[in-house]
Structure 1
């Protein structure tokens, strides 16, 4: 029954999809799975949630804030790490509709164009800058620590520091519900690939910086009308 319910909701969103918001501010929240790409061969996906807010300069160009709380972990033979992190970033997004030569009266366009055009115009890429606060727990044997040192690496002493990150995004907004000012709700599907600058997601520091991925599904709500 649950699968049938969620399938119905998704199909309803697609069937009533409109083009990107004409309102200037959106807020949203969602969840998904995060997984680390670190010095450990095996990674486990963990539940992660986020909250965000965006300001749309146009229906297709936005700048926003995003906060995350999640976990990445991994293991190699008997060695394990688990990082229960907090992260936040400032990001900008550019949507495909910017290059589709759409009319100036954008709210009217949302009422008359095809569903395919509406969804296509909402595909976006984005990038930003932010901070991550690590909370790393490890289980490293003395032999493993010696092996890390032998290849020129080291075991991180800082297990709870704050470090600089670069998030890269690709995704799509699928707004639904039609009004004269454009839709107010949207389903968001996003993949965020986050680059770190200090190689310390897993407690091991060597020549290659750690990374993590976050695949999420969320809901957005638009606020206010444009003047």
Structure 2
């Protein structure tokens, strides 16, 4: 029995495709939950920001191992200003809670990391975008300048509210480090995340001063720098990549 060159070439191409296909498929869990926490830093209408803290929990659905949609809840403290050093003697403390829906896409969705140590190491790098609400609870704020203020002692009250709900848009940049279980499945993740939160409204710092008197043009923001852990669970799904 003989094979023509065309048939031999066709079989070779088909075999190569099947080998590539077999190496490019894997199984993954469709759900994960995670916990994390870290420090935050504010940028609001007061001149100086300050450090606070954030604790977070999340649950995610995995469309692929590298594309997820989920919900994140946060609780923390955002603060800024200083009654002594601020030019207007303003300062605030906000014990906030927030809930956001987030979409995240990891580098592993676009690169071939099989047997490539560099890409394997950074396949969990991701970008994310979300939207949600933040519930502001101002627990400490300067509404009147102190009597010893250098300019306009006793001036006030600074306008604004102590409680309110605003729209919030988080932007995430981070890295997932994957850990397999005893059966070879990715079951655990150590997560490093940097998140910029843009709030729309004047509730984050509790000040709503007219821009004719105070600088008040940009959205109030706070950045969260966190470390977390994630656990995968649920049904197992096949994942196939064609490269």
Is the CA contact 1:25–1:223 (under 8 Å) kept in the aligned structure 2? Answer: yes
The equivalent of 1:194 in structure 2 is 197
Please give the secondary structure, in 2, of the residue aligned with 1:43. coil
How many pairs align? 193
Shift in Å, 1:180: 4.9
| Aligned-pair Cα RMSD in Å | 2.4
Check whether the contact 1:199–1:208 (CA below 8 A) recurs between aligned residues.
no
* TM-score (norm: length of structure 2): 0.72
Partner of 2:18: none
How do 1:109-188 residues align onto structure 2 when only pairs under 5 Å count?
113-136=115-138, 137-142=140-145, 143=152, 155-156=159-160, 158-178=161-181, 180=183, 182-188=185-191
Range 197-206 or range 186-195, more displaced: 197-206
Measure, in 2, the Cα distance between the counterparts of 1:129 and 1:211.
14
Go from structure 1 to structure 2 and tell me whether the alpha carbon gap of 1:21 and 1:203 turns closer, same or farther (over 3 Å shift): farther
**Residues 50-87 of structure 1: CA distance to partner in whole angstroms, max 9, x if unpaired?**
00011110111100100000111111423210011001
Unmatched tracts of structure 2, length 5 or more:
1-25, 146-151, 209-215, 238-243
Unaligned runs of 5+ in 1: 1-19, 103-108, 149-153
CA distances 1:156-213 after superposition (whole Å, capped 9, x unpaired): 1x32111111110000100113555521011000011011111321112233220110
- Structure with greater proportional helix content: 1
The separation in 1 between residues aligned to 2:154 and 2:64, in whole angstroms, is: 52
Contact 1:88–1:130, Cα closer than 8 Å, also in 2: yes
User: Residue by residue, what CA displacement relative to the aligned partner does 1:89-129 show, whole Å, maximum 9, x if unpaired?
Assistant: 00000111111146xxxxxx5xxx35533231110000010
Question: Cα distance 1:132–1:63, how it changes in 2: closer, same or farther (>3 A)?
Answer: same
Q: What is aligned with 1:224?
A: 234
Shift of 1:226: 1.7
Which of the pair has more CA radius of gyration?
2
**From 92, 104, 107, the counterpart of 2:103:** 92
Residue 32 of structure 1 deviates from its aligned partner by 0.2
The corresponding residue for 1:16 is none
Q: Superposed, which structure 2 residues align to 1:24-43 within 5 Å?
A: 24-43=30-49
Distance 2:51 2:118 in 1: 32
Measured in 2, the distance between the counterparts of 1:85 and 1:34 equals 12
Query: What corresponds to 2:148 in structure 1?
Result: none
Distance 1:117 1:21, change over 3 A: farther
2:112–2:119 Cα contact (<8 Å) kept: no
Q: In structure 2, what is the equivalent of residue 23 of structure 1?
A: 29
Instruction: State TM-score, norm by structure 1.
Output: 0.77
Q: Decide whether the 8 Å contact of 1:21 with 1:175 is kept in 2.
A: no
Distance 1:48 1:145, change over 3 A: farther
